[in-house]
Amino acid sequence: MSKEAKKTRRTAVWRLGALGALSGLLAGYSALATAELVSVAVRAESSPVIAVGGAAIDRTPAAVKDWAIRQFGTNDKLVLQLGILAVLTLLAIALGALATRYRRVGSAGVLLFGVVGAFAATSRPDSTSATDALPSVAGAVVGAGLLYYLVGRLQHGKRSARAQEPQEPDQTAEQRPVQARDQADEAAPAKGATTSPDATPSPDATPSPDATPSRDGEAGWDRRGFIVAATAAAAASTGVGLLGRSLNGAGGQDAIASRNRIKLPAPESAAPPTPKGAALRVKDVSPFMTSNQDFYRVDTALVVPKVDATSWRLRIHGKGVAREKTVSFAELLRMPLIERNITLACVSNEVGGPYVGNARWIGVRLADLLEQCGVKPPSKGGPADQLVARSVDGMTIGSPVEDVMDGRDALLALGMNGQPLPFAHGFPVRMVVPGLYGFVSACKWIEDIELTTFDDYDPYWVKRDWARKAPIKTQSRIDTPKPFARPKAGSTVMVAGVAWAQHRGIDKVEVRVDDGAWQQADLAAEDTRDTWRQWSFPWKATSGGHTLTVRATDRTGETQTQKRTRTIPDGASGWHSVVITVD
């Protein structure tokens, strides 16, 4: 073979590979778009990326998840989905390239992904119907079919050549790069194969002056057919995908309407008035009340559940429940409501981290409801020591029955900062228990409460190496100055932040500059022992680099430990420091 011919052949091989990869991408794209649209008819959570993402979240080791939350914060789910899409993109490219050699294998590969998606969707904890498999199956069938068709266009010439040269069945398109005529130029591409005038291409033949300016004269594929099909597939997938997206986005109309109709009644027991001095007038310190907008969000839900409050029910049952109960939202609204400011914190919050917020919750005292069901805490002879809350998305969260019934304001919350709960924060009802981390108390989208024991049942996070019991650790955070701030020497720098030890209360906050003595910070007035407390410390800044450190002491007299621990299994400990340079 001449040098020229070799080069031509190489180009053709590359082109075939690239077009195969493109076919794979289009197949994957059409599969996901189809799945998205079909998921509208089933439920948004059944779409394969969501289902696989959910399965991935559930299987991610605790340490990796913790790292992801730390690294990406509330964007962790977006990052996960982008990661899944990136992996799918690479696999689609590989399958497409493979399909140019083994056409059926490529399509079978796409179908296999459909099986994986269908399996993930139907094995999600909140999946109640085999129909959850439909989006994945439909998407895979469309994707596999499209790949088969597109690769067929690429092998068009091969087949025509085969038809006419049965003695050389293995000769592939790329092996005959210099077919004299590009069949794409045939008026009827589908028939181009049989009407191809050039049945005996010679590898070393010189390119014929073809009507199509095909650089190297390489042919053997149905160019027009491919371009038409690929363009149509891309356009159709975009349309179908966008339609599915917008319909899924517009879903939950009943839930939205039910939320809009809610008028929270005045509580029977209002929150004690917050003392004026609870909020310091210091710039850049976290506001005493965290708005719903700014409240941190941590959960495993890739699609925020939209629950219709009208049909929502909460069932209470299990060990020692003398009278099982199922309550509706309307019934809860008619019960005596209490309103309380309670600071909620996430166990994944590292020292100095942002996953803590203080809101005004309104709801039903959980202990009242449990007593109506005849539940007794262990200290009064009750057989159940663990209360397991289950959400509509299959989350399970276990709290000590003793804590929930010891007189603290453990709530079935219906409202947050004067509004019905936002969907992302658990609408229509969630739990909030002062003094416990969210993962052992604050179940959102709750629909079931089971009384059981710690011996008998491990909830979601406990199965993933987190602690069974996790009272809040005393913590303090420097909000200002920010790390690497550069205040002027001689100026007074306001060092300020928040400290929390829910249900014990904060009694003292101290600040240390470098290795100097601990100095007492000014504490803002205490709202309740269930809320965080702001603090400030005016410091005459001296030039040079400095490390500011804070520590708090709770009302039991215990000072926050210096010992640094990871967030797993029961919350980070250690002192928060900020390094600054004074100019």
Under DSSP, the state recorded for 269 is B
Q: Which is nearer to ligand MTE, 376 or 566 (CB)?
A: 566
Of 29, 427, 445, 500, the one binding ligand MTE by CB under 6 A: 445
> Which residue number is nearest to ligand MTE in terms of Cβ?
438
Should residue 360 be labelled a site residue for ligand MTE when binding is judged by CB under 6 A? no
Encoded tokens for 296: 């941190």
Minimum Å distance from CB 395 to ligand MTE? Answer: 3
- Strands 446-452 vs 519-520: parallel, antiparallel or unpaired: unpaired
The rounded distance, in Å, linking the Cα atoms of 179 and 327 is 76
The rounded distance, in Å, linking the Cα atoms of 561 and 304 is 37
Helix (H) or strand (E) holding 397: strand 396-400
Q: Which is nearer to ligand MTE, 144 or 446 (CB)?
A: 446
Should residue 25 be labelled a site residue for ligand MTE when binding is judged by CB under 6 A? no
**In Å, how far from its chain's centre is CA 175?**
48
Residue 88 binds which entry of Mo ion, ligand MTE, none, CB below 5-8 Å type-dependent = none
Question: Which contacts of 478-481 are long-range, i.e. CB under 8 A and separated by 24 or more positions?
Answer: 478/352, 478/548, 478/550, 478/576, 478/577, 478/578, 479/284, 479/285, 479/286, 480/282, 480/283, 480/284, 480/285, 481/548, 481/578, 481/580
Under DSSP, the state recorded for 471 is B
Q: Tell me which residues in 105-164 interact with ligand MTE (CB under 6 A).
A: none
Residue 38 binds which entry of Mo ion, ligand MTE, none, CB below 5-8 Å type-dependent = none
Of 377, 438, 505, 571, the one binding Mo ion by CB under 5 A: 438
The set of residues, in sequence order, having a beta carbon less than 8 Å from that of 47 and lying 6+ positions away, is 35, 36, 39, 121, 135, 248
How far the first Cα of the chain sits from its last, in Å, is: 74
Minimum Å distance from CB 559 to ligand MTE? Answer: 25
Minimum Å distance from CB 48 to Mo ion? Answer: 27
Rounded to 5°, the CA angle 94-99-101 comes to 110
**In Å, how far from its chain's centre is CA 250?**
19
Should residue 443 be labelled a site residue for ligand MTE when binding is judged by CB under 6 A? yes
Q: Which is nearer to Mo ion, 312 or 466 (CB)?
A: 466
Range in contact with Mo ion (rule: CB under 5 A) among 31-39, 338-346, 421-429, 493-501: 338-346
Minimum Å distance from CB 391 to ligand MTE? Answer: 3
Q: Which is nearer to ligand MTE, 412 or 582 (CB)?
A: 412
Should residue 391 be labelled a site residue for ligand MTE when binding is judged by CB under 6 A? yes
DSSP letters of 509-560?
EEEEETTS--EEPEEPPPS-TTS-EEEEEEEE--SEEEEEEEEEEETTSPBP
Should residue 502 be labelled a site residue for ligand MTE when binding is judged by CB under 6 A? no
Residue 352 binds which entry of Mo ion, ligand MTE, none, CB below 5-8 Å type-dependent = none
Q: Which is nearer to ligand MTE, 15 or 444 (CB)?
A: 444
Q: Which is nearer to Mo ion, 387 or 397 (CB)?
A: 397
Q: Which is nearer to Mo ion, 355 or 537 (CB)?
A: 355
Range in contact with Mo ion (rule: CB under 5 A) among 118-126, 325-333, 343-351, 453-461: 343-351
Should residue 346 be labelled a site residue for Mo ion when binding is judged by CB under 5 A? yes
Total of residues contacting ligand MTE (CB under 6 A): 19
Q: 247-262: buried (b, 16+ CB within 10 Å) or exposed (e) per residue? A: ebeebbeebeebbeeb
Should residue 442 be labelled a site residue for ligand MTE when binding is judged by CB under 6 A? yes
Minimum Å distance from CB 424 to ligand MTE? Answer: 7
Should residue 432 be labelled a site residue for ligand MTE when binding is judged by CB under 6 A? no
Q: Which is nearer to ligand MTE, 329 or 445 (CB)?
A: 445
Q: Which residue has the tokens 């199956």?
A: 137
Half-sphere exposure for 71 (CA within 13 Å, toward CB): 11
Question: Which contacts of 271-276 are long-range, i.e. CB under 8 A and separated by 24 or more positions?
Answer: 271/339, 271/340, 271/341, 271/360, 272/527, 272/528, 274/341, 274/527, 275/525, 275/526, 275/527, 276/525
Residue 445 binds which entry of ligand MTE, Mo ion, none, CB below 5-8 Å type-dependent = ligand MTE
Should residue 439 be labelled a site residue for ligand MTE when binding is judged by CB under 6 A? yes
The rounded distance, in Å, linking the Cα atoms of 222 and 189 is 6
- Beta bridge pairs of residue 341: 360
Site string for ligand MTE, 274-313 (x = CB under 6 A): ---------------------xxxxxx-------------
Burial (0-12, 13-18, 19+ Cβ within 10 Å), 223: buried
Minimum Å distance from CB 346 to Mo ion? Answer: 3
Site string for ligand MTE, 406-425 (x = CB under 6 A): -------------------x
Should residue 393 be labelled a site residue for ligand MTE when binding is judged by CB under 6 A? yes
- Chain positions contacting ligand MTE, by CB under 6 A: 295-300, 344, 346, 391, 393, 395, 397, 425, 438-439, 442-445
Binding residues for Mo ion (CB under 5 A): 298, 346-347, 438-439
